[in-house]
């Protein structure tokens, strides 16, 4: 049996001459453009949404899975769509909650050699498959009125810190970024405060106000509502 992930790695490092590289890059531009057009066309029709992030490995019945279902339900009941990465775990739970309330349930899936398949709770007309991570992240950012981030792995951290960076550098308008689970996020936030801020002075004190930490579905959703009681909803860039 062929080890597919290893074969993909070997193929990626095969020697190619410069004309082959240039030709491949040129064709990739069209693939990238097509993903942007597909994403913009689909998501622009949906209306205000909140992106829900978290681990693909979280199992049904666990506390964070059920909390994500509850969050999806509460957002949909308030008229907001739910955008997730389209896979299992927390993503599935967020879509499930939105689907239970007949709300817009959006899945931005990514082609991976493992772990990721479309979950069954995404609306048929709101499921988009991506090959390029960076295009997918643009869709999360552009059309979300807020980020609710439950415990996850490297992908979740990537999406979280991209959002924080864009708001910090004013490349996008400020929008609510909510971390769910003090027990999970507390150690990271302590490190950000003690090392990044106090020890190394790599961020400013105001950067600690770019996000909120909560512990319940009600608190997470209320943070979104409280933010938009002061500001109007709009595209982020």
Domains of the chain, earliest start first: 17-228 (3.40.50.450)
Phi, psi of 173 (to 5 degrees): -65, 150
**pLDDT of amino acid 210:** 97
Q: Are 140 and 162 in contact (CB under 8 A)?
A: no
Q: Residue 17's pLDDT is what?
A: 67
In whole angstroms, give the CA distance from residue 117 to residue 127.
11
CA distance 171 to 21: 32
Structure tokens at 50: 């909140």
Please give the Cα distance from 167 to 230 (Å, whole number).
17
CB atoms within 10 A of CB 217: 21
pTM, full prediction: 0.88
Kindly report, residue by residue over 178-221, the tens digit of the pLDDT. Answer: 999 999 999 999 999 999 999 999 999 999 999 999 999 999 99
């Amino acid at each position: 049996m062929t080890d597919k992930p290893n074969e993909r790695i070997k193929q990626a490092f095969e020697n190619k001459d410069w004309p082959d590289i240039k030709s491949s890059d040129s064709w990739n531009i069209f693939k990238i453009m097509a993903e942007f057009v597909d994403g913009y066309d689909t998501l622009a029709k949906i209306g205000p949404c909140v992106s829900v992030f978290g681990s693909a490995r979280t199992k049904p019945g666990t506390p964070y899975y059920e909390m994500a279902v509850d969050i999806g339900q509460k957002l949909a009941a308030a008229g907001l769509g739910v955008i997730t990465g389209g896979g299992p775990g927390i993503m599935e739970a967020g879509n499930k909650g939105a689907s239970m309330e007949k709300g817009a349930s959006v899945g931005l899936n990514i082609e991976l050699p493992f772990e990721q398949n479309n979950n069954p709770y995404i609306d048929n007309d709101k499921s988009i498959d991506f090959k390029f991570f960076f295009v997918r992240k643009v869709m999360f950012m552009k059309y979300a009125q807020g980020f609710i981030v439950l415990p996850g792995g490297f992908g979740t951290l990537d999406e979280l810190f991209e959002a924080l960076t864009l708001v910090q550098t004013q490349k996008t308008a400020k929008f609510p970024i909510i971390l769910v689970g003090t027990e999970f996020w507390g150690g990271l936030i302590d490190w950000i405060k003690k090392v990044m801020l106090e020890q190394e002075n790599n961020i400013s004190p105001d950067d600690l106000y770019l996000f909120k930490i909560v512990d319940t579905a009600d608190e997470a959703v209320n943070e979104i509502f409280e933010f938009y009681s002061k500001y109007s909803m709009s595209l982020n860039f």
